[in-house]
Amino acid sequence: MHEIRATLTKKKQAKIILFVLDGVGGIPNPKLTELEAAKTPFLDKITKKSETGCHIPILSGLTPGSGAAHLALFGYDPLRYDIGRGILEALGSDVSVSEKDVLIRGNFSTVKNVGSKIIIDDRRAGRITTDTNKRIIKLLQSKINKIDGVGVEFTSGLEHRFVCKLKFKNKLNSSEVHILDTDPEEVGVAPLIPKNLNQKSQKVSKIVVKLVNLIKETLKKENKANYALLRGFSIYPKIPTFEALYGLKAGSIVTYPMYKGISKLVGMNPLYVKNNTIESQFETLIKEYDNYDFFYFHIKKTDSFGEDGNYKKKINVIEEFDKSLRKIQKLKFDVVCVTGDHSTPTKMKGHSWHPVPVIINSKNSFYGTSKRFTEKECLKGTLGLFEGKNLMNFILAHGELLSKFGA
């Protein structure tokens, strides 16, 4: 796909913005989805003049991780570029990375003893504060800095999230980090053992097993964050840049490290946001408007409240975004796209495989099919139901950035 698209992409100026409301899709809970229940007059006004549809993030029936789903939205085949969450969190946390490093995303979590077993009670330790996170990271670093000659480095993230870097003495390749995540992604069960999934990964997995036990011992007296779940074992991958693929200078307006990381990975420039609010993100957009061709604008809390099962607060974030979205009327975009990376229904308290609504607004939109930005309404549109990796084709076409294919 990249090869074909590269031959068709025009060198032409265009202003494009991609709004990604993380986990925005839902299912009736009990009667309406969060989008259906939300009051979104401005989004609905745009939708009436937009081309609409729904995307399948990866493949039908496959529940996506955020990294894979975002790669698809940017036009990369997530089955070809299987990138672990560790490297994304590391880049987003400004961790220096070499070819000798293994990066791991960690979640502080709460476990309890049930007989002879350890059982997960909360996968996110009640979403501890970032200040608490920093205190615990200092504790871990003071107790664990080397395992069998391999350096260990911890970096705080937001709330319950952190990065662990294992510093090996020799260069590693991706086949050496195929290790099972310790996070089973459910509560009431035991953490998984980080076993190697192929023979080449045995060396790294042995270090990780010792790391898990050392973290467990160090955190045993903590009230909430008394354990850590590890996931996304990865090295720095080779991937073509967004600008090389599309000829567009891209900036990202994000507030969470992982999304900063994925934008950095594809060569976007993460832009300064004053604080973790949608209003501040729009201030950044207005300030930087003249400096970039393409903006990736990410809203996180729709996903967070979806995972928490908080129906009302997820609706509140959607409505807050709708009120702020009016500010783009002052800016002249050739293409405005609003979607999510995946669905996170509050009813399910987690990511799901369900279709994600999409609207694309441009002077070339085939509009008039949908009245609201909701799952059911967008399914009526001419974009239909498509794989997420094809979204950039539609965006480029609406921006008149693709030449005709074939004779």
pLDDT tens-digit series, residues 353-395:
999 999 999 999 999 999 999 999 999 999 999 999 999 999 9
The first and second tokens of residue 275, run together, are: 């604080």
- Could you give the 3-state DSSP secondary structure of residue 6? helix
From first to last of its 407 residues, what are the pLDDT tens digits of the chain? Answer: 566 676 777 677 899 999 999 999 999 999 999 999 999 999 999 999 999 999 999 999 999 999 999 999 999 999 998 888 899 999 999 999 999 999 999 999 999 989 889 999 999 999 999 999 999 999 999 999 999 999 999 999 989 999 999 999 999 988 999 999 999 999 999 999 999 999 999 999 999 999 999 999 999 999 999 999 999 999 999 899 999 999 999 999 999 988 999 999 999 999 999 988 999 999 999 999 999 999 999 999 999 999 999 999 999 999 999 999 999 999 999 999 999 999 999 999 999 999 999 999 999 999 999 999 999 999 999 999 999 999 999 999 999 998 788 76
CA–CA gap between residue 183 and residue 123 (Å, rounded) = 8
Backbone angles phi, psi at 252, to 5 degrees: -115, 140
The structural domains of the chain, ordered by start, are 2-81+239-398 (3.40.720.10), 89-234 (no CATH)
CB 335 within 8 A of CB 17: yes
pTM: 0.86
Residue pointed to by tokens 């937009």 = 50
CA–CA gap between residue 87 and residue 106 (Å, rounded) = 12
The first and second tokens of residue 183, run together, are: 């996070």
CA–CA gap between residue 25 and residue 52 (Å, rounded) = 14
The first and second tokens of residue 31, run together, are: 């009667």
According to DSSP, the residues that pair with 104 across neighbouring strands are 164
The phi-psi region of residue 232 (left if phi > 0; otherwise alpha if psi is between -120 and 50; otherwise beta) is: left
